[in-house]
A and B are shown apart, each in its own frame.
Chain A
Amino acid sequence: AQTVTQSQPEMSVQEAETVTLSCTYDTSESDYYLFWYKQPPSRQMILVIRQEAYKQQNATENRFSVNFQKAAKSFSLKISDSQLGDAAMYFCAYRSAGTSGSRLTFGEGTQLTVNP
């Protein structure tokens, strides 16, 4: 079974600074997807960024980028120019590729605080 670990229960960053959230995972599969989800106080889960394991290039979405290290099974999220609206719980998640019923496996979450 796959597992996802987020070792930082809480992180804080100053507005306009950069922060990196860590995530490691364990799997024996070679083809899979990795995700970062954001959950603000409204509780609505929002997909931040997605990475396909077969792609060597790290995914980027505006101020959000990942550092995907397949051999090390590491998938960190970097938030640049942090904004107050980035404050949220962030979840790292794993999913097998292509299987119709495959489920998302989540990490424990990292609560990010952005200080003005």
Chain B
Amino acid sequence: DVKVTQSSRYLVKRTGEKVFLECVQDMDHENMFWYRQDPGLGLRLIYFSYDVKMKEKGDIPEGYSVSREKKERFSLILESASTNQTSMYLCASRLDGYTEAFFGQGTRLTVV
């Protein structure tokens, strides 16, 4: 079974802190994604990566950056956390453009 693991299920951070959300997949997938989930808005794409060291902005990249130094790991970085970044963050991966995506269990981030 494909496994997508997010490093934390719950995080509480202070305003202005630099925050790292980590995602690891164990199936040699090419594509990885970070989504943000908010009530009434569904899932919105923040960034995605289709290969190591490659990244593309999604629909809401402001205030975020990403890093993909190794194929299995895709990190989401909040350079200076703000209260409006309090949300659920979901990581996903897939082999390529023809196959289904697999999701991690989400990180619920609260910025106080």
Contact = CB atoms under 8 A, between A and B. Distances in A.
Interface residues of A, number: 24
A106 B56 CA distance: 18
A46 to B, nearest CB: 8
Given A9-B40, A103-B33, 7 more contacts: A42-B105, A43-B106, A97-B97, A100-B31, A103-B58, A108-B42, A109-B42
Given A42-B105, A43-B88, A100-B30, A106 B42 contact: yes
A97 B98 CA distance: 7
17 contacts: A42-B105, A43-B105, A43-B106, A44-B105, A91-B42, A101-B48, A101-B97, A102-B97, A103-B33, A103-B58, A104-B43, A104-B45, A105-B45, A106-B35, A106-B42, A108-B42, A109-B42
Contacts of B106: 43
Interface in A25-75: 35, 42-45, 47, 50
B68 to A, nearest CB: 13
Contacts of B92: 45, 104
A42 B106 CA distance: 9
A11 to B, nearest CB: 15
